[in-house]
Chains A and B, each alone.
Chain A
Amino acid sequence: MQWEIVIGLEVHAQLSTRSKIFSGASTAYGAAPNTQACVIDLALPGVLPVLNKGAVERAIKLGLAVGAKINSPSIFARKNYFYPDLPKGYQISQFELPVVQGGSIRIQVNGIEKEIRLTRAHLEEDAGKSLHEDFHGMSGIDLNRAGTPLLEIVSEPDMRSSTEAVTYAKTLHSLVRWIGICDGNMQEGSFRCDANVSVRPLGSEKLGTRCEIKNLNSFRFLEKAIDFEARRQIEIIEEGGTIRQETRLYDANKDETRTMRTKEDANDYRYFPDPDLLPLEIPSMWIDQLKATLPELPEARRSRYISEFGLSAYDAGVLTSTRELADYFESTVKQLPAQAKLCANWIMGEISGQLNKEGIEITDCPVASIQLAALIARISDGTISGKAAKIVFESLWQGELNQDVDAIIETKGLKQISDGGAIEKLVDEVLAANAQQVADYRNGKEKAFNSLIGQIMKATQGKANPAHVNAILKKKLGG
């Protein structure tokens, strides 16, 4: 039997506010335990939450970016359960009427575009951390993270493979960074995925029983966890078993998922509207203001790059993978509007290659877009060859000669000989010295032509403009 995998993702994106969602404490990562937990985060008797406006703004921005409905009023609800790193004994989250409802994200898998629908995105606070090591048999609690603002972005079960799921997660990851609502740092837990996975016979309309895999903090783990889980479910069903709805954890070391809790021991969270927080009214004026601050979105840029610069869909996709890369491309191409394809090739080739090699981001690229543009200009006006350009680029990267492209070309003697007279003289000399090859060519030996080009290039140490050499040689031999 052929099986279809059905995947929905819940992504917890940590919002990039400086203070927490319901208190004024800092959200900075990595401080000494409990130094960033104020009386509100500690849930002392009598303290009350006050909503951080910046968190709401970020949620609205996401809603606008995915074409969702912004609910007004939106309601905060308490999710009640006991755990030591949950100081109030409830998490303030949203249940009915989340800030963001609906919307969709388009992904490209193998050149095919697919729309993934979003169910909702709601605001909530993060819990603290339980530390189970180094406390002589006791557990430690660090509440620095308690109250950190999260946007939980829930998709519909619209993905059909781990590749689609990873692509969706990457597209969303890029989007939240693009619109500046989340730093996307997965090591620090700023972007975490839970995957709901089920399988069903191909062609079936009915969804299978799903399992939720919690806390996948890398795209690789997301992919492997889904693949493992789908295989596990298919095996069980093929052996005549049934899937039990449960929450599972992915163990990266063993590359497997295992039961965390079953539906039977799931909590009854007793959601109810938080009486400490009034319904959140979001006037349309506020939404309009935020809309005006949104940058051009990746999808819009992608299609503009195709229509305006004639780039391929693939190139446009790569260049818009992050806002910083797209900005770099645009500021390069702005200076060379006619050379968009060349700019794209250089950024996707030399620049990206070098960045990857050194493990740095485009924002830390030692070659500024203006310098790259100067270099590309010298290629396109014929001053240097593509081969020489790589030498210039290397020199720019190393920061030599004040990163002055022309000075580098000059100093390194990389200029092409494009002077027709000079080349003609050289061609004559080479022809005179290679009478045999000239004769061979004229007798139909095409190969002899390349050999003559080689001789000429050698004589100029590769500096002659090959296009010119080619044309002149053809003229002379044809004559």
Chain B
Amino acid sequence: MFNASLKQLSDQLAEKKISSTELTTEFLKRIKQLNSEYNAFITVNEEMSLDQARSADQMIAAGQASALTGIPIAQKDIFCAKGWLTTCGSKMLSNFVSPYDAGVIERFNQVGAINIGKTNMDEFAMGSSNETSYYGLVKNPWDLSAVPGGSSGGAASAVAARLAPGATGTDTGGSIRQPAALCGISGIKPTYGLVSRYGMIAFASSLDQGGPMARSAEDLALMLNVMVGFDPRDSTSLQRKVEDYARDLQKPLSGLRIGLPKEYFAEGMSKDVECAIEKALDEYRKLGAETVEISLPNASLSIPVYYVLAPAEASSNLSRFDGVRYGHRAKSYSDLGDMYRKSRAEGFGPEVKRRILIGTYVLSHGYYDAYYIKAQKLRRLIAQDFTQAYQQCDIIMGPTTPTVAFNLGEKSGDPIQMYLSDIYTSAANLTGLPAMSIPVGFGNKNRPVGLHIIGNYFMEAQMLNVAHQYQQVTDWHLKSPV
């Protein structure tokens, strides 16, 4: 059962071979048994999950079921869920029980999916290893001494360890794709504006985008069908015709032009990763695709641009965590200023503080033009690179990360090295392009390698098709660490 795909579980529920209550009970049991090993979940609430499962069974009985009805989904603890502790991985929100549902949570609830628990994450989604969480580090099921990636590390670990058939993540600079790659699962960050940000605790508003994490492209398509949709409560949400993201899964790939950015296939990518990526590309050529070399001359600026803009927005977004209305407040303080200082000094971890400081600095009087404005200009140049590249190809591929999962503690003392693990992924956030990662083999120490697929705007169905066709002829996505 735990190895079954989301699609298979969905079929079994529809055929009434199993009830959602049974399925949910089994997953809850497994989480109870194994979570101490991975620390993938911050909160599990059996009662609330089972309540939902019973309602889902009623929906199924009443013939109102759709693909995700009754399916347990692990929710990243960045999504506000009514009645659930919603911590964002921070001490600051360690006492915050949300009184409302995020747009994404609402959409899962509407179709009768089960919230199986809230997953661990880097504090306020700031991190690439899940080591900044107030709730402790998460382990990579493939190798307990390796990081799962971040910030959606709990989600990736949970899906890889078969604690949930699917999970939600959020991706600001690679936070869905990087952990998906490091844990050997599939994950997609849709085009900016497709998934509602309402109730998704903001890190960097112009970059944040929610998306699904699962074991296969087909499962991602089913989840995306639920997650995507216009939300009038999010001004950046896009009003578009409803699509079935599974509609093109079976399309053959003959004639597909895959662009390979020469800047990504250069120094920086480790040999083991390169080897796995090359093999995957060979597979694509066998499937009828052709590869063309393209250039993204400004892509190398993604990390510096990202580390100006994301902290700038974050420094402002995190101002609301002041201990006045909710969240952590220092026990004793002498005056208002002291209350702010102590509450925030105690409530935030070092990485969050570092980014608030960077962001405050780049927005300061006298520095704004040199950093923020300059970064915005470069952001446009990076986007132009992609626009030009898509005149030569249909889709872009490369490695998701430069190396396989690193060891726990290996980079936590060196922020620059940590930031560089998002070197290939952050461009998609800066441009708003959809991007995904799928498992394509193993590298050093038998740790997974992810293939990065960047699509043009709104080409999610095509990307899922490209990923699915590969997964039809390979079995990397079926490999289990447990």
Interface on A for B, CB 8 Å cutoff? 39, 42-51, 78, 80, 82, 84, 87-90, 141, 268, 270-272, 275-278
Contact = CB atoms under 8 A, between A and B. Distances in A.
Q: 6 closest A-B pairs (Cβ-Cβ)?
A: A89-B319, A275-B206, A270-B363, A275-B205, A46-B199, A43-B320
Given A43-B325, A45-B93, A80-B363, A276 B236 contact: yes
30 contacts: A44-B326, A45-B80, A45-B88, A45-B93, A45-B96, A45-B201, A45-B321, A46-B79, A46-B80, A46-B102, A46-B197, A46-B202, A47-B198, A50-B232, A50-B234, A51-B235, A78-B316, A82-B322, A82-B340, A84-B322, A84-B336, A87-B320, A87-B324, A89-B320, A268-B364, A270-B316, A272-B372, A275-B205, A276-B202, A278-B235
Contacts of A277: 235
Nearest to A46: B199
Nearest to A272: B363
Contacts of A84: 322, 324, 336
A275 B314 CA distance: 11
Contacts of A268: 364-365
B201 A46 contact: yes
Given A271-B363, A272-B368, 7 more contacts: A45-B88, A47-B199, A87-B324, A272-B312, A272-B316, A276-B202, A278-B235
A90 B205 CA distance: 15
A222 B88 CA distance: 48
B313 interface: yes
Contacts, number: 95
Interface residues of B, number: 44
B99 interface: yes
Interface-centre pick from A45, A51, A82, A87 (highest chain B CB count, 10 A): A45
Interface string B200-215: 1110111000000000
A89 B235 CA distance: 20
A87 B321 CA distance: 9
A88 B325 CA distance: 10
B100 interface: yes
B86 interface: yes
Interface-centre pick from B204, B318, B336 (highest chain A CB count, 10 A): B336
Nearest to A42: B325
Contact of B200 (A46, A49, A89, A278): A46
A48 B233 contact: yes
Nearest to B206: A275
Contacts of B55: none
Nearest to B359: A270
A49 B316 CA distance: 14
Contacts of B206: 275
A80 B320 CA distance: 10
Contacts of A47: 198-199
Contacts of B232: 50
Interface-centre pick from A47, A82, A270, A271 (highest chain B CB count, 10 A): A270
B363 A44 contact: no
A270 B360 contact: yes
Interface string B362-379: 011100100010000000
Interface string B409-439: 0000000000000000000000000000000
A270 B360 CA distance: 8
A275 B313 contact: yes
A44 B368 contact: no
Interface-centre pick from B200, B202, B320 (highest chain A CB count, 10 A): B320
A277 B233 CA distance: 11
B98 interface: yes
Interface-centre pick from A44, A46, A84, A88 (highest chain B CB count, 10 A): A46
A44 B98 contact: yes
Contacts of A49: 235
